[in-house]
């Protein structure tokens, strides 16, 4: 499926951050059947510490300004951010996708696939041959269609949402040898 003509994938900028923050937290709230973000923020604060980027918009802005090792692409339709992918390089030929979310009304229209392909191209250009990601059980089918394979179950998010570790070799010439695999996602 192709990206709708009125939409584009681009590098995120500071003005996108509020929309990204709302999109990510709304996505998790929807998956967990929650009416507010507060239980998610409380859980994430305990799990990841007070500086985790999705605890507050200010944390996200601070993280973005720091220019860390991760890249962020957004899907924009008109003036609205309707999707986001956050990804980075671990080293040794391995990269990761930390977050990928699409607004519910745009799911099934090729947005997630376009975001993921864009991230994979960027990772390949940075010497990555193997991509790792964690996905909830409801997203496994999407990632398998995109060429990912389930490696293991990793646990429950907030005691409710089952997550799995997946991988995809995107560039065999850059992929780590089998003896080099198995690093934990940080």
Tens digit of each residue's pLDDT, the chain (186 residues): 678 888 999 999 999 999 999 999 999 999 999 999 999 999 999 999 999 999 999 999 999 999 878 999 999 999 999 999 999 999 899 999 999 999 999 999 999 999 999 999 999 999 999 999 999 999 999 999 999 999 999 999 999 999 999 999 998 887 776 544 454 433
Expressed in angstroms, the distance from the first to the final Cα of the chain is 32
The span from the CA of 77 to the CA of 25, in Å, is 20
What's the maximum distance between 2 C-alpha atoms anywhere in the chain?
46
- pLDDT given for residue 1 in this prediction: 65
**Residue in this structure with the two tokens 């507060």, named with its chain if needed:** 38
- pLDDT given for residue 60 in this prediction: 96
Phi-psi region of 108 (alpha: psi -120 to 50; beta: other; left: phi over 0): left
- pLDDT given for residue 6 in this prediction: 86
- pLDDT given for residue 175 in this prediction: 75
The answer as to CATH 3.40.630.30 being correct for domain 7-180 is yes
The span from the CA of 146 to the CA of 55, in Å, is 30
- pTM for the structure as a whole: 0.91
- pLDDT given for residue 186 in this prediction: 35
Structural domain boundaries in the chain: 7-180
The span from the CA of 63 to the CA of 85, in Å, is 15
Contact 62, 21 (CB under 8 A): no
The span from the CA of 92 to the CA of 138, in Å, is 30
Backbone angles phi, psi at 111, to 5 degrees: -70, -50
Contact 24, 99 (CB under 8 A): yes
Residue 136: other Cβ atoms inside 10 A: 16
């Amino acid at each position: 499926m192709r990206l709708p003509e009125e939409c584009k994938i681009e590098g995120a900028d500071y003005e996108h951050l509020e929309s990204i923050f709302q999109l990510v937290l709304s996505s998790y709230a929807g998956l967990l059947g929650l009416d507010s973000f507060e239980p998610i923020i409380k859980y994430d604060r305990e799990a990841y510490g007070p500086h985790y980027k999705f605890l507050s918009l200010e944390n996200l802005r601070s993280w973005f300004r720091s220019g860390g090792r991760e890249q962020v692409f957004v899907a924009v339709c008109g003036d609205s951010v309707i999707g986001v992918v956050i990804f980075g390089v671990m080293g040794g030929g391995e990269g990761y996708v930390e977050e990928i979310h699409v607004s519910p009304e745009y799911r099934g229209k090729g947005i997630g696939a376009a975001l993921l392909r864009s991230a994979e191209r960027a990772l390949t250009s940075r010497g990555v041959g193997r991509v790792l990601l964690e996905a909830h059980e409801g997203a496994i089918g999407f990632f398998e269609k995109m060429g990912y394979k389930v490696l293991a179950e990793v646990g429950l998010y907030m005691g409710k949402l089952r997550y799995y570790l997946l991988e995809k070799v995107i560039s065999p010439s850059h992929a780590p040898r089998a003896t080099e695999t198995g690093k934990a996602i940080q």
